[in-house]
Amino acid sequence: MRITSRFTIAAHIIMCVSYFEDKAAVTSSFLAGSIGANPVIVRTLMGQLKEAGIISISQGKTGIALARPLNKITFYDIYKALGCVDEGGLFRFHESPNPKCPVGRNIHRAMDGFLADIQSSFEERMKSITAEDLFLRTESAISEESEKS
């Protein structure tokens, strides 16, 4: 099980938008340079974040801005905005268990409740972490780095 890098790239976008809001015009090219990703990927994710009401995008010097405060953006919001997991959920079952085997016939049903609980716990935890929490850790890491220099 793995959530694609789209999630961490989107979080990176949000951090850059917030960190550089008064320091530089944040554009897709600027973000692609910070992230080390193709600008097309960055623009695609920006579109998804915009559609979810997380960022706003304007043409010209102002570039990208947050559409709501950092403390009102959760990891879950980002996760859902990007469609990191489809309606099938986090876990996938192998498609052809042997119906003649008692385990094969019943494994899916036996595991469903456990897996639903795990996904629910995962998503609830994501709802408790905000972009502000991440921003504070990012600022702290930047400060520690500059103290070492």
> What does the pLDDT profile of the chain (149 residues) look like in tens digits?
557 789 999 999 999 999 998 888 888 899 999 999 999 999 999 999 999 999 999 876 667 999 999 999 999 999 999 987 767 678 877 888 899 999 999 999 999 999 999 999 999 999 999 999 999 999 999 999 988 87
Q: Where are the domains of the chain?
A: 6-148
Which class would CATH give 6-148?
Answer: mainly alpha
pTM (predicted TM-score)? 0.87
Cα–Cα distance for residue pair 132/120, rounded to 1 Å: 23
